[in-house]
Amino acid sequence: MKIVGISGSPNRDGSNSHMIDRALDIARQRGFEVENISLAGADISPCTDCHVCRTENSCPIEDDMAGINSSLASADGIIASSPVYFGTLSGQLKMLFDRTLPLRRNGFLLKDKVGAALAVGASRNGGQEYTVWSIHAWMHIHGMIVVGDNNHFGGITQKAANTDEVGMKTVEDTVNKLCDTLDRLAPV
């Protein structure tokens, strides 16, 4: 089974990358195939509401989203991470979410995949829960099965995530819950 991790930060080596790397490392150790998608430097244009994806199985915008949508459609589990920007998720991750509309319109291709969310803020209560909730909302709209960390909403850290032991424990618990859920749903 395959788990795709999305780092929704424009910073390649920041806390989001650290959280996604740790989550995917745990999934890999548990026997899952993993793929890491970093939005740092990714070419993703905003949705223009052109409606082409209502009648065709694709988006006419030529950028990195065709490959990203293909990766998401082939995944069994998705874990998305975002920094808190002005109280919610990053613009980069929001553009990715908007551009997954063809996956929904062409057969709900993310339906029943297991999803989890991670967020990092400047302080312990820096908007992470609302950011995680925003990621969960995207997952619910796609019909995904959403899991948390067995205690709260998902992985929630504060800057710098690699030094936040309490927060990184929630990241580890979240990816383990995602893996446990995929194991339970796997055909016997």
Closest CA to 132 of 151, 144, 116: 116
**What are the start-end ranges of the H helices in the chain?**
15-29, 52-55, 65-74, 91-98, 101-105, 128-141, 165-185
pLDDT in tens, the chain (188 residues): 999 999 999 999 998 999 999 999 999 999 999 999 999 999 999 999 998 988 887 899 999 999 999 999 999 999 999 999 999 999 999 999 999 999 999 899 999 999 999 999 887 788 889 999 999 999 999 999 999 998 788 887 878 878 888 888 989 999 999 999 999 998 77
Burial of 91 (0-12, 13-18, 19+ CB in 10 A): middle
Query: What per-residue confidence (pLDDT) applies to 156?
Result: 74
Return the domain boundaries, the chain: 2-183
Does pTM top 0.85 for this prediction? yes
- Strands (E) located in 21-170: 33-38, 77-83, 114-121, 145-146, 155-158
Distance from C-alpha of 61 to C-alpha of 44, rounded to nearest angstrom: 9
First to last CA, the chain: 13
Q: Looking at domain 2-183, what is its CATH homologous superfamily?
A: Flavodoxin domain (3.40.50.360)
